[in-house]
């Protein structure tokens, strides 16, 4: 089994929205904002190669949205989904499975592309796309608070082209051998967090359960979360397993840190160490 980070570029979001009720003077010590109170965030995907199966987790924002939409998010960086896959030796056609943690535009935008003729089609022609039932129902019948994050053009082509697999797990289950899913509902209903077991070493793709190292303290919860008190419970459940099994946390949105593991101290859960994604030599 091999792991590859797939950088797809960065976006800027309001720091207050990203850290919720935590005062700026506290969160800015650990995650900087610019003069407009915007913080820069990665959209970092993970490619898991296990034999013939090539699993991409999340897809970034994509490039089919118009300028009016994209300018709100101040996209920056030179990385793209296609370039990053090519850099590690793969093309869109090589991907066999796409696991979408949830269907917000910065996670699922790259799942669908627009052809020169304007047709919307799945980016990965040979892949099955996996989405939890709870998230699919939530995204296709969105609440007014979250509606702007669910774009029909990112979602419906997967169904129309018969590329969609609805995952029925209520709390957890094995999607592929050594590739488990945990369901968390605080950020959005039915968010899937993959936990991959590679010869006894586990790595979790954190999605929006934990956007960055800066979000590890319990009160550091995004204003985007639809059920922040459930997020508190989600974090507590995950932390216990992560500490017990020494799980590597792989961050989708942390611009400055790729991975960490956790420890329990007298003051609560904290970072044990921060590091880059282990090389494939150490993974094999």
| φ/ψ (deg, to 5) at 29 | -65, -30
| φ/ψ (deg, to 5) at 252 | -80, -40
pLDDT given at position 279: 80
CATH top-level class for 2-283? Answer: alpha beta
**Tokens 């039932």 sit on residue:** 133
Strand blocks (E) in the chain: 2-14, 38-50, 53-57, 97-99, 112-114, 120-122, 128-132, 164-167, 172-176, 179-184, 191-198, 201-205, 248-250, 259-265, 268-275
Task: For residues 134 and 23, give the distance between their C-alpha atoms in angstroms, rounded to a whole number.
Answer: 33
Q: Does residue 2 sit in helix, strand or coil?
A: strand
| Residue 102, C-beta contacts closer than 8 angstroms, at least 6 positions apart | 108, 132, 135, 139, 187, 188, 190, 191, 192, 207, 208
DSSP 8-state assignment for residue 229:
H
Nearest alpha carbon to residue 28 among 45, 101, 18: 18
- Mean pLDDT per 10-residue run, the chain (284 residues)? 98 98 96 97 98 98 92 96 98 98 98 95 98 97 93 97 97 98 98 97 98 97 98 98 98 98 95 93 54
Asked if residue 203 lies in contact with residue 247, where contact means CB atoms within 8 angstroms, the answer is yes
Q: Where do the domains of the chain lie? A: 2-283
pLDDT given at position 282: 52
Query: What's the longest Cα–Cα distance across the chain?
Result: 60
Provide the CA 105 distance to its chain's centre, in angstroms: 11
Instruction: Produce one character per residue of 203-236: b if its CB has 16 or more CB atoms within 10 Å, e if not.
Output: bbbbbbbbbbbbbbbeebbbebbeebebbeebbe
A 10 A CB-CB count for 283 gives 17
């Amino acid at each position: 089994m091999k792991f590859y980070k797939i950088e797809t570029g960065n976006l800027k979001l309001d720091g207050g929205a990203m850290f919720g009720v935590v005062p700026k003077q506290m969160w800015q010590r650990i995650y900087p904002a610019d003069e407009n109170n915007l913080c820069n965030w990665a959209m970092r995907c993970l490619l898991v190669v296990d034999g013939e199966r090539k699993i991409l987790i999340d897809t970034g924002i994509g490039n089919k949205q118009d300028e009016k939409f994209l300018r709100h998010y101040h996209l920056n960086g030179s990385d793209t989904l296609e370039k990053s896959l090519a850099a590690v030796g793969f093309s869109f056609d090589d991907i066999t499975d796409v696991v979408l943690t949830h269907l917000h535009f910065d996670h699922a935008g790259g799942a669908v592309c627009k052809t020169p003729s304007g047709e919307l089609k799945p980016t990965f022609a040979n892949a099955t796309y996996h989405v939890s039932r709870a998230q699919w129902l939530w995204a296709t019948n969105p609440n007014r608070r979250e509606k702007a994050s669910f774009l029909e053009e990112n979602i419906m082509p997967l169904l129309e082209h018969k590329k969609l697999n609805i995952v029925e797990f209520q709390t957890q289950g094995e999607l592929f051998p050594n590739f488990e899913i945990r369901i968390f509902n605080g950020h959005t209903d039915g968010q899937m967090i993959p936990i991959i077991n590679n010869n006894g070493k586990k790595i979790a793709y954190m999605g929006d359960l934990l956007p960055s190292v800066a979000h590890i303290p319990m009160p550091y919860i995004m204003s985007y979360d639809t059920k922040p008190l459930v997020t508190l419970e989600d974090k507590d459940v995950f932390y216990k397993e992560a500490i017990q099994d020494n799980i590597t946390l792989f961050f989708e949105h942390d611009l400055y840190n790729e991975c960490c593991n956790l420890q329990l101290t007298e003051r609560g859960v904290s970072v044990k160490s921060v590091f880059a994604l282990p090389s494939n030599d150490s993974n094999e």
